[in-house]
Structures are given as structure tokens and as C-alpha cells.
Amino acid sequence: MEYLSLSLSLTLACLGNAALTAIAQNATAEALVVSVKFCISARTCDNLRHACHWSVRDPYAKTFTNPLTNWTANLLHHNTALDDASNRLVALPNVDTLYSLAVLHLSAGEVVTTMPAWEGRFYVWPFYDLYANNVCNIGTITNSTAGKYLIKCHPSDPGCVSEPERGDYAGLIYLPMVYGLTLLRIEVGNTSDTTHVVCWIQPEFSLSPIPSHGNCGAPALTKALLADNLTVSNALLYTMQLLARFAEYNPPEVSADVPHIAATLKAAGISTSAKKYTQPAHVNLTQAYSDAQAVATAVKTIPADFVSLGGGWGTPAPALSGDLHSHYDMRAFIAIQGYLQLQASRAVSPSFASPSGTLYTN
Ligand SMILES: *[C@@H]1O[C@H](CO)[C@@H](O)[C@H](O)[C@H]1NC(C)=O
Ligand SMILES: *[C@@H]1O[C@H](CO)[C@@H](O)[C@H](O)[C@H]1NC(C)=O
Ligand SMILES: *[C@@H]1O[C@H](CO)[C@@H](O)[C@H](O)[C@H]1NC(C)=O
Ligand SMILES: *[C@@H]1O[C@H](CO)[C@@H](O)[C@H](O)[C@H]1NC(C)=O
Ligand SMILES: *[C@@H]1O[C@H](CO)[C@@H](O)[C@H](O)[C@H]1NC(C)=O
């Protein structure tokens, strides 16, 4: 199932108040399913832990160490220490990987990434939209050419483009929306190797904006945009308000979904043009949250969504990993289990289903 059932084709004028409330209630639950990853992205950008406490098993709540408390968009922040169980940049980190994180903002222009020649070690440089769809990866697994890549806001066909029209780039990276995230992962061997990577390799990876070519006009992405005048003390109100503020510039990855999502947001009380959320009369946000959680957690009961790895372990089907396209329910499920998942060709995300049905993800 890709959408909650929602029948907006009914003539609204003919409906009684109860039916109108039911439509707004369903639309609110669906809006929460659509936006949970967005909300977690906002938290990643601003440590808004209380504002986006959405997760059923919040892997970030206690251990999340955010290097971006004082971030600048389009600047790569290198984590110079390895993560472990008590100190995590990502929810469930690899302990042999140095991570670097950046918030991407493309409305003031394109951004150029520079990737050094690889020296036999593994690294992957993934690019995500703000809904955490992993739309493109460069690095060793893809045998990507070292050099410069141009990141553009390009809603119609997001992904990696290996034959750029401008010869000074090794490739293009099309993001479906104006904002995004990136989380570079570099493998290290031992303590002295970590020092080597921090001193000599991390600095070779960089981002640099080229002003003026922006084609997806939007306000600069700042901490103020993520928090000012929003109800950060109430996770559900905050999520809806955030969606209202950002939806116009950050459309769904799949352009065919735009009309449906727009109708859903409207029915849920979101005005994308006024960038305002007005809770419809009688809509119960707590109930919508619980319905949205049920949709996300139901994903694990659908056998077709997972590939068995044996012994009770499974991993999301390749089409449901990393880049989720129209699979909003799976996207919400992954959001509340982990975050910034890679495409299946880049990483395995095994889960273990215990006899009680609890799913543990890695
Ligand atoms: C945040 O970054 C700015 C610009 O780099 C710097 O001037 C300021 O001191 C930093 N603030 C904190 C709290 O680190
Ligand atoms: C990368 O290069 C290696 C060695 O030439 C090759 O085995 C592998 O298939 C290539 N991978 C891709 C994704 O092209
Ligand atoms: C640490 O890793 C580096 C790079 O892989 C290697 O050259 C070096 O021999 C290793 N040192 C130890 C003590 O294992
Ligand atoms: C918050 O509201 C104030 C007063 O209306 C306004 O000046 C400011 O631009 C708003 N901030 C954001 C990020 O919308
Ligand atoms: C809203 O829904 C929750 C969860 O179903 C319920 O406990 C609560 O009583 C409802 N609130 C109102 C005002 O109906």
C-alpha cells in the first residue's frame, strides 16, 4: 500500500460535518506518514529533539551527537572521531567509518562537490533529499571518477547523471528538491589510520557553492527557518507546521505524486502558499499520530517488503531501500527505525524479527 485510503473525489459540499472530519483526520495521518522523515531531517539539522520526537524506538534520543548545532548550509562537517555505542552521529553507526555531514541548500545556486582519487579504501558519498531519499551515490562501489560533481536542483529526474553537458565535471547530481543532506562515509583501519584519514583524506572532500544559478527559488535554509515561529514544544503541531513551511519548495520525489500529496496536505489543513497549518475542527492529532504509526509499523508484516537473509533476519527489498520513491509507508517505517539508509546496492540493512514480532534494524 502506498497511500492511506483517502477519497477526495467526493463532493465536499454534500458531506456532513462527520464525513468532513473523517477526511481531514485521514489526511492528517497521511501527512504525518509523508513528513516524518522531513521532521527527522529538521532535527538532524538543528538538534530539535523535542520537536520531532516521533520515533517508536527513538535511536537518537539519548545518544545522538549532533555536530551541526552551529551549521552552515553547503559546508561539510567532518566527524573526526569514530562512533561507538555511546557516541553516535548516525542512529546505528559502523565503528570503522568516519562520517561527514552537510545540509544542502540549492536555491542560491548550484554546489560543487570535490572527491579525491581513492587509495584502495572504501568510501561512499551519498546525497539525499530532505525526505532522506538516497537519490545518488558516488564513491568506490560505483567506481566513480575522482574530481568535481555538480549538484543541481532538478525536480523532474533526480539521480546521478554520468555524462554532464559541461566537460569540467565528472558527473551531475540531481536533487529532486531545493534542500537536502549528505553523509559521507570513509572506511578506516586502526587508530593511526584514523589520524591519517582525519588529517589527509577528509579535507580532500569538499563542497563549494556557485552563486546565482539557482533555479528552485526558496529561502536560505537556516536554523531560524526550521524553528522560528513554529510550535517546537509540540512534536505533532511542529511536524504539520514544518510541512506547511517547506512543502512548496520541496515537492515529492515522484512528480506524478504531486497532485495527490497537494490534495492531502490541503485536506489536512495545510496551506502551502501561505505556509501555514490550521488544525481542522475536530481533528485529533494524537489519533492521527497513532494511525500514522500503525501504517508505518504495518510495513514489517508485509512479506513482499522484505528479502529473507535466513535465521529470522531480513532486509528491505531493493526497491524499498534508500530511495523510496512513492513508498511513503516504508519511508516512514525506515525513518522511525533508522535514518539516512543507503540504496541496497551500497549497503545491507539487516533486521531481526524476534518471536514477539519486534523488529530490530541495523
Ligand atoms: C557559530 O559559528 C559562527 C561562524 O563560524 C561563529 O562565529 C560562532 O562563534 C559559532 N558559535 C558557536 C556557539 O560555536
Ligand atoms: C568497478 O570496477 C571493478 C574492477 O574493475 C569491477 O569489478 C566492478 O564491476 C565495477 N563496478 C561497477 C559498479 O561498475
Ligand atoms: C593501520 O592501518 C594502516 C592502513 O590500513 C596500515 O598501513 C598499518 O599497517 C596499520 N597499523 C597497524 C598497527 O595495524
Ligand atoms: C517569525 O515572525 C516574525 C514576526 O512576524 C517575522 O518577522 C519573521 O520573519 C518570522 N520568521 C520566520 C522564519 O518565518
Ligand atoms: C484523541 O485521540 C486519543 C487517542 O485515540 C484519545 O485518547 C483522546 O481522548 C482523543 N481526544 C479527544 C479530545 O477526543
What is the CATH classification number for the domain harbouring 190?
2.60.40.1610
C-alpha 70 – ligand 1 centre gap (Å): 6
Q: Are residues 148 and 246 in the same domain?
A: no
For residues 268 and 253, the answer to whether their CB atoms sit within 8 Å is: no
Lowest mean pLDDT among 41-50, 144-153, 244-253: 41-50
Looking at the domain assignment, is residue 18 inside a domain? yes
Q: Are residues 204 and 228 in the same domain?
A: no
CA dist list (Å): 272 to 22, 104, 251, 267: 21, 22, 11, 12
pLDDT, tens digit, for every residue of 4-33?
333 333 444 556 788 888 999 999 999 988
Looking at the domain assignment, is residue 322 inside a domain? no
Residue 57's pLDDT band (cuts 50, 70, 90): very low
Task: Name the residue at shortest CA distance from atom 12 of ligand 4.
Answer: 228
- What predicted TM-score, i.e. pTM, was given to this entire model? 0.85
d(CA 165, CA 102): 26
Q: Dump the DSSP string for 132-155.
A: --EEEEEETTTTPPSEEEEEEE-T
Lowest mean pLDDT among 178-187, 244-253, 343-352: 343-352
Q: Are residues 148 and 229 in the same domain?
A: no
Residue ranges of alpha helices (H) inside the chain are 17-46, 191-196, 223-227, 235-246, 258-267, 285-298, 328-337
Query: How many domains are contained in the chain?
Result: 2
Q: Are residues 265 and 205 in the same domain?
A: no
- State which of 245, 261, 282 marks the end of a domain: 282
Q: What burial class does residue 217 get, using C-beta atoms within 10 Å of its C-beta: 0-12 exposed, 13-18 middle, 19+ buried?
A: exposed
The atom of ligand 4 lying closest to the CA of 225 is 13
d(CA 332, CA 353): 18
Q: Are residues 129 and 207 in the same domain?
A: yes
294 within ligand 5 shell (Cβ under 6 A): no
pLDDT of 154 over the 60 cut: yes
pLDDT of 39 over the 60 cut: yes
Residue 272's pLDDT band (cuts 50, 70, 90): very high
pLDDT for 172: 94
145 within ligand 2 shell (Cβ under 6 A): no
Looking at the domain assignment, is residue 154 inside a domain? yes
- Ligand nearest to the Cα of 119, by number: 3
- State which of 181, 211, 241 marks the end of a domain: 211
C-alpha 33 – ligand 5 centre gap (Å): 19
Q: Are residues 82 and 193 in the same domain?
A: yes
Looking at the domain assignment, is residue 65 inside a domain? no
Task: Name the residue at shortest CA distance from atom 1 of ligand 2.
Answer: 143
pLDDT, tens digit, for every residue of 73-128?
898 888 888 877 666 666 667 788 998 888 888 988 899 999 998 778 989 999 99
271 within ligand 2 shell (Cβ under 6 A): no
- State which of 237, 265, 282 marks the end of a domain: 282
pLDDT for 56: 40
pLDDT for 171: 94
Q: Which residues contact 70 (CB under 8 A, 6 or more apart)?
A: none
For residues 354 and 360, the answer to whether their CB atoms sit within 8 Å is: yes
Looking at the domain assignment, is residue 271 inside a domain? yes
Q: Are residues 88 and 207 in the same domain?
A: yes
Looking at the domain assignment, is residue 325 inside a domain? no
Show the domain range for 129.
77-211
Q: Are residues 82 and 196 in the same domain?
A: yes
Looking at the domain assignment, is residue 327 inside a domain? no
Q: Are residues 184 and 91 in the same domain?
A: yes
pLDDT for 203: 94
Q: Are residues 93 and 196 in the same domain?
A: yes
pLDDT of 205 over the 70 cut: yes
Q: Are residues 228 and 195 in the same domain?
A: no
Residue 151's pLDDT band (cuts 50, 70, 90): very high
**Beta-carbon-side half-sphere exposure of residue 305 (alpha carbons within 13 Å):** 20
pLDDT of 47 over the 50 cut: no
Q: Are residues 175 and 134 in the same domain?
A: yes
Residue 3's pLDDT band (cuts 50, 70, 90): very low
Lowest mean pLDDT among 268-277, 341-350, 352-361: 352-361
Looking at the domain assignment, is residue 341 inside a domain? no
